[in-house]
Amino acid sequence: MLEVHDLHVRYGEIAATNGISLTVGDGEIVAVTGANGAGKSSTLNAVAGIVHPTSGSIRFDGQEMAACPSHECIRRGIVQVPEGRKIFGTLTVLENLQLGAYRLGSFQIDSAGVDEVLEQFPILADRLHVPASCLSGGQAQMLALARGLMAQPKLLLLDEPTLGLSPIAADDVFDLIRGLREIGLTILMVEQNVHQTLALADRAYVIEGGCVVLKGDARDVASASGLTSAYLGMADQSERISPSERSSPEEQEIIKTRTAENRDIFQNGNRI
């Protein structure tokens, strides 16, 4: 369904990805994990048309998408649930859901569509007319996921769906993603909750310094000896560009701090 080849994303001088290649097949859950600043969101944002790569190819259902704007990506069925949820706090839960149906060409209430999505989110069904700002973090994440499903995606992109959630709320999100697999949805997800993600996904890519440093069947990646070092930003791969080659001294300081933070996340689970 999705083939990303040699993807380069830059923000001015900063190279966020340095030649990422990955594939997602129909009905698969593919995970992208790795340290803070590794280039995970940049990869997802490029697939969603939110940033445009400087080079590389993104083929979706056989068509080149690298130059497509985000609204065109959504129209073709690539729907992203963004990092940080980005729900509209002053709108009600129902209004947020309706916005999700934009790709279908209407903001009108499609009660059948809403009801269908709400079957998987009973917690939201009771709170339809509440401003979204009143939801807990876990409920807000559920709303962000439900809003994404309102667009009837062919490929759902999830960027850190458990970020900032309590362990119980994170478990609920993982359960929900398991449920989405059962209905055959294709998912490309970025997550730092590495152990739970690898237990859930079919295949996984570990990114470090904008490069894929580990990939394969999720169970194999979970048991790979290089996982910890790759996650902590210390993978030894000759083909990757080291942080020192692509970064200014200021950036290198940031990377050092992040590596310490990442060690903590890796050992203790969820990031705050």
Ligand X SMILES: Nc1ncnc2c1ncn2[C@@H]1O[C@H](COP(=O)(O)OP(=O)(O)OP(=O)(O)O)[C@@H](O)[C@H]1O
Contact set with ligand X (CB under 6 A): 11, 14, 16, 34, 36-42, 83
Q: With CB under 5 A as the contact rule, which of the stretches 21-29, 33-41, 86-94, 260-268 interacts with Mg ion?
A: 33-41
Type of residue found at 51: V
* CB 130, min distance to ligand X, A: 29
Place of tokens 């998912």: 187
Alpha-carbon span 106 to 98, nearest angstrom: 8
Q: Are 2 and 153 in contact (CB under 8 A)?
A: no
Residues 6+ apart with CB under 8 A from 119: none
* CB 167, min distance to ligand X, A: 19
Partner whose binding site includes residue 58, from ligand X, Mg ion, none (CB under 5 to 8 Å by kind): none
Q: How far apart are the first and last CA of the chain?
A: 33
For residue 268, give both structure tokens: 């203790």
In the bound state with ligand X, the residue whose beta carbon lies nearer, of 40 and 127, is: 40
Is 41 near Mg ion (CB under 5 A)?
Answer: yes
* CB 242, min distance to ligand X, A: 13
**Rg of the chain taking only CA atoms, in angstroms:** 18
Partner whose binding site includes residue 153, from Mg ion, ligand X, none (CB under 5 to 8 Å by kind): none
In the bound state with Mg ion, the residue whose beta carbon lies nearer, of 83 and 261, is: 83
Q: Are 93 and 143 in contact (CB under 8 A)?
A: yes
Is 80 near Mg ion (CB under 5 A)?
Answer: no
Residues that bind Mg ion (CB under 5 A): 41, 83
